[in-house]
Amino acid sequence: MGLLAGVAITVAPAPAALAEDGAAQSILKAMSDYVGRQENLSLKYDADVEVVTPAVEKIQFSASGEVTMGRPNKFRVSRTGGYAEVELVSDGSTVTIHDRGGNRFAQVPAAGTFDEVVDRLRTEAPLEIPGADLLLSKPYEELMAGVLEAKHIGRGVVEGVECEHLAFRNLDTDWQIWVEVGERPVPRKYVITSKAVGAAPQYTLRLREWKTGVSPTADAFAFKPPEGSSGVAITMLNDIDDIPAGVVPGGAK
């Protein structure tokens, strides 16, 4: 009976929702278009990052923060975790990376759009704005790059909000996204699984308290150095990741 049950499961047709590749892409495109055309937006987020130690132990690190954007090139992003407290501020001409815990900051020119600033921070810092790919002016193109398979799994609930649940496969990663149902198709949850890394660690991002169409305050994107803080080169800010430095046997963190 066990063998016959296994055969039955193998040959059973896939649920209709799993076959709707076009539906997954359509929902993702609607989400991308909605977010991309918002001139002003703000949200709060919670992020979990998993790492795998040499002993094949999976450890998760958590952080929370806020995002405020004024397109095309102004933003303020904060991140508070157990090991670093960081803020990124762009007034449209200068990007400031503020290590609030270390009372120091670095500034670089911010010529270009939010999309261009994101690319520059990734290559020069490197710094990653949480959920940056979801906030670009054209998220769909970035998200679909390299996608081999798309599925509309069905519907799920994230923090009490009904969402469309989508799943995508790339060569080295699988990723899922939950998009709010209704007239405001914003992303509510985003999970990336690294298949090329042993034990398949995940990055999970939960997005909440979305506000769109609300004009930021006059000083929302202004940076005022705190008293006693010092300006440093951006290359000096190499210890502000949300994952702390490792521990070697007999050594310090």
Q: Which of 166, 127, 154, 171 is nearest to 32 (CA)?
A: 166
Q: Which of 251, 248, 4, 232 is nearest to 99 (CA)?
A: 232
pLDDT at 170: 95
pLDDT at 2: 32
For the chain, helix, strand, coil in percent to 5 are 20, 40, 40
pLDDT at 50: 93
Ranges of the chain whose pLDDT falls below 70: 1-21, 125-126, 241-242, 244-253
Per-residue pLDDT reduced to its tens digit, 56-108: 899 999 999 999 999 999 999 999 987 778 899 999 889 898 988 788 998 88
pLDDT at 236: 74
Both tokens of 203, joined, read 């990055």
pLDDT at 78: 92
What totals of helices (H) and strands (E) does the chain contain, helices first?
A: 6, 12
pLDDT at 126: 62
pLDDT at 65: 95
pLDDT at 11: 34
